[in-house]
Amino acid sequence: MATLPRLNVGAGMSPRTAGQINADLYPGPNVDVVFDAAKKWPLSDNSIGVVTGTHMLEHLADPWTFFAEAWRVLAPSKECNLQLRLPYGPSGAGFGDLTHLRQWLPGSFCCFQPGYSESILNPQHNGWKYPFSVMSVYLRVEPALRWLLKPVIRWIGLPLTGFLWGGFIEMVVGMRALKTDVDVLRWKMENRANVVPVAYCMYEHEYQGRCLGEDEKLRWLFFGEGSRQMQRLSDAHIA
């Protein structure tokens, strides 16, 4: 069975890679298809394996259509198939760009999960018909605060970052489109709609206060509850 392509939404000047479709609002030398991600996408149902978007979600006037269209074009999968990077809301990266239309927090993604209306006792989300599971939200700690994550003070430094303006600079969000009623039912039996799993992290070279080596691969370092398991999974993926 042929592998379905990846769709990179908001690709900008990103290079073309094998098996990837670059999409953007504006044409360019590396853009394969031009469309507005906040309107209907010119792609067939279930035709895409993975949708990615890097620092584009915060620019959209209508994120609801983005998620509905991503859900529509994504093929059923048991793995994370919507991968987003965006600025952490209350930070300079989140507020500093005048083209950002809204700021996002980890909890902002709860509303795309099944049963969210019931969990918050508010019917305004009852009409949402494009459910996702939020599988992970990585909070990338501001590199200047790496000293708070050193072993001696990490027990107090790590929770402190959540109270600091600019404590985090970026979120990496992994989601899965729940395409069948069985997927939705199983998810609702095992999860709470108003909760998303959050992990604290930093790139290894940032933690060490140095530049990334010329041939060095990016490596995440995880901190806090569940960090050992996250580290094993992340390192296995790199290997």
pLDDT at 231: 94
Region 121-149: mean pLDDT is 94
Q: What is the DSSP string of 127-166?
A: T----EEEEEEEEEE-GGGGGGGSTTTHHHHHHHHTTSTT
pLDDT at 1 over 60: no
pLDDT at 125: 85
Averaged pLDDT of the chain: 95
Comparing C-alpha atoms, which of 67, 168, 50, 69 is closest to residue 110?
A: 67
Region 20-25: mean pLDDT is 97
239 pLDDT band, cuts 50/70/90, is low
51 pLDDT band, cuts 50/70/90, is very high
CATH number for 6-238 (one of 1.10.3110, 3.30.450, 1.10.10, 3.40.50): it is 3.40.50
The full set of domain ranges for the chain reads: 6-238
- 3-state class of 220 per DSSP? strand
**How many whole angstroms separate alpha carbon 172 and alpha carbon 193?**
19
Which of the 8 DSSP states describes residue 96? S
> pLDDT by residue (tens digit) across 70-93?
999 999 999 999 999 999 999 998
Q: Are 205 and 213 in contact (CB under 8 A)?
A: yes
pLDDT at 124 over 90: no
How many residues appear in the chain? Answer: 239
